[in-house]
Structure 1
Amino acid sequence: MLTTVPTLLVGAVFGIALAAPPGPMNAIIAEESVLRGWTAGFRAGIGAMLADVVFFLGTLAGVVAIIDRYPIIRPALYLVGGVLMVYFAVGAFRDARSASGFVADTDGPSRGFEKTFALSLTNPYQIGFWLTVGVGLLRPGTLDVFAHVPGIGTALEGALVVQTGSAALLAGFFVGIVLWIVSFPAALVSVGRRIDAFAPIVSLLSGVVLAAFGVIFLVAGAGGVI
């Protein structure tokens, strides 16, 4: 018990650190939160986390490793993911133009779950994580937590090294993701209720992020295919 709790906490820190950096998933979660309320934002976060669960199970079964055996799969995923991101970016720009103030329309149509789930399943970076770090979480050894966090890299390398191969570490990892997808939409909704222009601004920024990543994915995919 004495070692389980710290391991859970470390896993939670790792999960939050990986979930928090700006990217396509958080862009969709943000847009859903400010336009349709906390529930929609949380559902979008669940879509991304469910994909992680799928990859986790695929890693256990050895299915995810098949991607490394067939080089054509990765660039194809880049292309599919890039097209989806650009498509969702157009929708975000449309929402930004039509949004007026904060709209807590929890009964309105929301496709955040479907968007994040589809993007996550076609995200080579996410797949790459489970092929490398994810596999490491399952096997006995050590993990330098912050070395794998986007935006931190070598700055905090060696600051938090944890033993892997523990069920508590994996449980903490997913607990950390849940904490993020609960608190991030809540914070956005809270700010949105105070600032009238917040919803269209967030939608616009979400569109920019999705479009930028979409172009990056399309270029990477085209380069891999060619």
Structure 2
Amino acid sequence: MFGLALAAPPGPMNAIIAEESVVRGWSSGFRAGLGAMTADLCFLVGSLLGAVTFVRRFPAVRAIMVGAGGVLMLYFAYGAAREVRGGFRAEGADGKGFRKAFALALTNPYQVLFWLTVGVALLNPGTVDVLEPLSAALAGALVVRTGSPALLAGLFGGIVVWITAFPAALVAAERRIEALAPAVAGLSALVLAGFGCYFLVDAARAVAGAI
């Protein structure tokens, strides 16, 4: 439940997974999901080694990561928009889904924020309110016990379930509804463009505040 609660909400990562799934098939969507999960594993290792603490100590570093994430989202939004005009379905995976999702996840402000707050707390015994950093309205909705290997296994196990089932559901639906692929790619482009603009503004404000 913990892993699914983090992986399932709409956002830039699921937009990439959705686009890859309907344009290139289940395997590409799954690879994109693996790219995002691999970035989470890197953040986990970074938490163990103290790299995440370094980012938290220097707001300018976080601002740079947020800005880079915004630029990548706009770039991938352009790519998704081109897919709408390019025709469906492309034959086979092009191998870029993993790299796209991995690069975007490393600079995705939501994932960075998670590992700067909740992610670090997962390693210490106690309890943590998972959704409270994202919204005060969600405080208390999902409180979990931390410091347990079972929790980390459940976290990544839930993510694996999502990145397996989500692309499969999209591919199955796309086979029934011919117009779904262009619609999903177009929606993915809008989601990525929206988040990209939002995060660029956020990064600019952080830099202006530091100056």
TM tier, shorter chain? over 0.9
Residues in 2 aligned to 1:27 and 1:41: alpha-carbon distance in whole angstroms: 10
Shift of 1:115: 0.9
Alpha-carbon separation, structure 2, partners of 1:87 and 1:48 = 17
Q: Distance in 1 between matches of 2:26 and 2:102?
A: 18
Deviation of 1:145 (Å): 4.3
Q: In structure 2, what is the Cα distance between the partners aligned to 1:125 and 1:63?
A: 17
Gaps (5+ residues) in structure 1?
Answer: 1-12
Partner of 2:195: 213
Cα distance in 2, alignment partners of residues 158 and 109 from structure 1: 42
Give yes or no for the alignment of 1:173 onto 2:132: no
**Aligned-partner SS, 2:128:** strand
Structure 1 partner of 2:170? 188
Q: Distance in 2 between matches of 1:158 and 1:184?
A: 27
Q: In structure 2, what residue type is equivalent to 1:181?
A: I
- Give the aligned partner of residue 47 of structure 1: 35
Between the two proteins, the alignment pairs up a number of residues equal to 208
Name the counterpart of 1:203.
185
Instruction: Rate the CA distance shift 1:76–1:202 in 2: closer, same or farther, 3 A.
Output: same
Contact 2:109–2:199 at 8 Å: present in 1 too? no
Distance (Å, rounded) in 1 between the aligned partners of 2:142 and 2:65: 32
CA distance in 2, matches of 1:27, 1:122: 15
AA of the residue aligned to 2:91: D
Q: Which of 68, 91, 94 does residue 105 from structure 1 map onto?
A: 91
Q: How does 1:17-32 map to 2 (within 5 A)?
A: 17-32=5-20
Read off the aligned partner of 2:31 and give its amino acid letter. R
Percent same amino acid at aligned positions? 60
Give the root-mean-square deviation of aligned CA atoms.
1.7
Report how far residue 130 of structure 1 moved.
1.0
Where 1:143 maps in the other structure, the secondary structure is strand
Under a length normalisation based on structure 2, what TM-score does the superposition of the two structures give?
Answer: 0.92
State the 1:79 CA deviation.
1.5
Distance 1:126 1:145, change over 3 A: closer
Measured after TM superposition, the shift of residue 225 of structure 1 is 1.7
2:38 maps to 1:56: no
For the residues of structure 2 that align with 1:53 and 1:171, how far apart are their CA atoms? 11
Q: Is the 8 A contact 2:33 2:98 kept in 1?
A: yes
Structure 2: any 5+ residue segments left out of the alignment? none
The structure 1 residue matched to 2:62, chosen from 51, 54, 74, is: 74
Q: Distance in 2 between matches of 1:43 and 1:120?
A: 13
Q: CA deviation at 1:161?
A: 3.3
Length-normalised TM-score, structure 1: 0.86
